[in-house]
Amino acid sequence: MLDTGTANQTRLSDGPVAGPLFDFAPAIDQYLKTHLFGDIFERDNLDWQSRELATLGMLSALPGAEPQLRAHVRISLNVGLGSGQLRQLVRVLAERVNADEAGRLETALRQ
């Protein structure tokens, strides 16, 4: 699963993922690659676009998760979602959830 997860993460991110967090805590890197990008992303219950829409909705609800939200906006574009679809998600969040969540996603889209 580590090899599969590494390949999935690289494909989703449009390149290898590295950074200070993974240098500081290599166990997190291995866990994410093995469990999240390996075990979960290999399941066939959701396609990657649907999974990313759900992830954007969830991350928009979490104040303080803006870096992850920006990363998943990029991933969403990498898996084939269009900017128009992401703007539509902003509208859905504004109409059906609240302005704060919609605003976080809108800001991430602009960045």
Q: Residue 19: left (phi > 0), alpha (psi -120 to 50), or beta?
A: left
Residue reference for tokens 């998600």: 89
pLDDT of amino acid 45? 93
Stretch 5-29: mean pLDDT: 91
pTM value is 0.85
Q: Which residues contact 87 (CB under 8 A, 6 or more apart)?
A: 109
Domain boundaries, the chain: 2-40, 48-110
Q: What's the pLDDT tens digit per position in 30-79?
A: 999 999 999 998 898 999 999 999 999 999 999 999 999 999 999 999 99
Q: What's the pLDDT tens digit per position in 69-93?
A: 999 999 999 999 999 999 999 999 9
Task: Report the C-alpha dihedral over residues 66, 67, 69, 72, rounded to 10 degrees.
Answer: 180
